Amino acid sequence: MFQYANPTQFTALATTVQPWLVAATAVLFGVGLYMAFFTAPPDYQQGETVRIMFIHVPAAWMALFVYTVMALASAVALIWKHPLADVAAKTAAPIGACFTFLALVTGSLWGKPMWGAWWVWDARLTSMLVLLLLYLGYMALWQTVEEPVRAGRVAAILALVGFVNVPIIKFSVEWWNSLHQPASVFRMDGPTIHPSILTPLLVMALAYTVLFLVLHLAAMRSEILRRRVRAILLARTGA
């Protein structure tokens, strides 16, 4: 873990790996979208509208996954003071916020034909909206505190405090009467979806994950460069 604490080493690794990840993302999205729109059968009740699921569900999974990554990075930053941990957490937040927003919007577009409403205040939707607010608050905190190390520490505390929302989102459809579909994939008894729909879903989820990796590594490299620029400017004006 500390082998890549050196920003230069990390940047070198990220730059080497990036083209492969971009290629993998393109291939996975190509395959996944083809399967989602052509191979997967239409739902017996929802018809073709069910295909929004292949965009909506992986986006929602990623929203939770990215927050978990952020919370883990924050914990590493606070406990081991790994130099790149708070960079990882800071750069993950905007990506996670975008995934959450995408999940909410695609869910809303799906809900209008299916439930008849753009938005309902049920437990799953409300807790996802709270997740978006947590992401935005986290980003706002980074913007407001000027000194990067101090900002990193308080932001890490905030991320860990907000992590309590992630299990609430996951179990919201079980704990409350929810209009939203209950868990069909990540269940103790295994998935309840037929493979013809489950496989495109998992391919799309993998595509989203690799996309997150691509964006995250690029953002981390940018943040490292941004901090270098800041250090140079401070050295020039300070000393």
Partner 1 sequence: MTLVWALIRRDLVLAMRQGGGAGMALGFFLVVVVMLPLGLGPDQAMLTRIAPGALWVALLLSVLLSTDRIFQADYEDGALEVMLLGPVPAELIVVAKTAAHWLTTGLPLALAAPLLGIFLNLPADAFAPVVATTLIGSPALSFLGAVGAAITVGVRRGGLLLSILVLPLYVPVLIFGVSAAGAAITGPVSFGTPALILAALSLASIVLCPLAAAAALRVHFR
Which residue in 78, 183, 202, 213 binds partner 1 (CB under 8 A)?
78
Instruction: From 93, 76, 71, 94, select the one nearest 4 (Cα to Cα).
Output: 76
- Asked if 106 interacts with partner 1 (CB under 8 A), we say no
CA angle 9, 14, 1 (to 5 degrees): 55
Two structure tokens written together for 61: 């999974």
Two structure tokens written together for 41: 């059968």
CB 64 within 8 A of CB 186: no
Measured from the CB atom, is 60 or 215 closer to partner 1?
Answer: 60
Report the site for partner 1 in 127-166 (rule: CB under 8 A). Answer: 130, 133-134, 136-137, 140-141, 144-145, 150, 153-154, 157-158, 160-162, 165
CA angle 130, 215, 111 (to 5 degrees): 40
Measured from the CB atom, is 156 or 215 closer to partner 1?
Answer: 156
Q: How far is the CB of 168 from partner 1 (least distance, A)?
A: 8
Measured from the CB atom, is 26 or 136 closer to partner 1?
Answer: 136
DSSP state of 44: T
Task: Please give the residue ranges that form the binding site for partner 1 (CB under 8 A).
Answer: 78, 126, 130, 133-134, 136-137, 140-141, 144-145, 150, 153-154, 157-158, 160-162, 165, 168
